Amino acid sequence: MRVLIAEDELRLADAIARGLRRQGIAVDLAPDGEDALVKARVVRYDVVVLDRDLPGVHGDQVCRAVRGERPETGILMLTAAGTLEDLVEGLSLGADDYLAKPFRFAELVARIHALARRSTPSRPPVLRHRELELDPARRRLTRAGAPIELARKEFAVLEALMSADGATVSAEELLERVWDEHTDPFTNVVRMTIMTLRRKLGEPPVVETVIGVGYRMM
């Protein structure tokens, strides 16, 4: 999952980003509305966490633009005001959900996962492939009932492959979905992550390399 945090309170944005990354979520930051619009137009985010009172381009304008140009992206609007009128107005702008500051981090994470599932309604909350069962919300993976411990990026790569339902996912798409904007696009990190993932998943192998194309579940 990849999330954009559009928040001008830098300490809050950094704290959210650190917490989400510990959950295995790739996070980009935008300190103002203009930067948020640029990034949302370049990257296909699963969820945009959007402060309503952004400097530059106001959060309301960002919300309208993202909803119009990226209708599949979930939008969670943050605001210091938590009245019913603010809630109704935020949702009328195209936001999918609304969270008043201050908020509990656990609630933020739960809402982000809910929005990500809503943006891909065909994807069940628990993913299954042969003996594998992966629960993204609880960060739990089992094979034939036995738990398997994965690093955050390994878990996110497997989630992306299982979500593709047998389709081939390119290394470039995995890099965009799992890693953030600071990752070198010429890195071999995807190949190395696939290697360690295969080792941890054990035999018989379940991840196939499609030469020149990418990877898929087999």
For residue 96, pLDDT over 70 is answered with yes
What is 127-217's CATH topology?
Answer: Arc Repressor Mutant, subunit A (1.10.10)
> Nearest Cα to 48, choosing from 56, 39, 24?
39
Least confident of 66-70, 79-83, 101-105: 79-83
pLDDT at 121: 55
Q: In this structure, which amino acid lies at residue 185?
A: P
Question: Which residues, 6 or more positions from 176, have their beta carbon under 8 angstroms from its beta carbon?
Answer: 2, 43, 44
pLDDT at 123: 61
> Nearest Cα to 120, choosing from 152, 78, 74?
74
pTM of the entire structure? 0.69
What is 2-119's CATH topology?
Answer: Rossmann fold (3.40.50)
For residue 122, pLDDT over 60 is answered with no
φ/ψ of 129, rounded to 5, equals: -150, 115
| Residues 6-17: tens digit of each pLDDT | 999 999 999 999
Sorting pLDDT into bands at 50, 70 and 90, what band is 117? Answer: confident
For residue 157, pLDDT over 60 is answered with yes
Which pair of tokens denotes residue 163?
């979500």
> Nearest Cα to 178, choosing from 8, 29, 24, 64?
24
**Element housing 149 (H / E):** none
Work out the angle between the directed axes of helices 10-22 and 105-119 (0-180°, nearest 10).
Answer: 70
Task: State the Cα–Cα distance between residues 86 and 83, nearest whole angstrom.
Answer: 5
CB-CB neighbours of 70 under 10 Å: 17
DSSP designation for 90: H
Cα torsion 18, 23, 26, 30 to 10°: value is -40
Where in the chain are all domains bearing CATH 1.10.10.10?
Answer: 127-217
Question: Which residues, 6 or more positions from 193, have their beta carbon under 8 angstroms from its beta carbon?
Answer: 153, 154, 157
Where in the chain are all domains bearing CATH 3.40.50.2300?
Answer: 2-119
Q: Could you give the residue ranges of the DSSP H alpha helices within the chain? A: 10-22, 33-42, 59-69, 84-92, 105-119, 152-163, 171-178, 189-201
For residue 120, pLDDT over 70 is answered with no
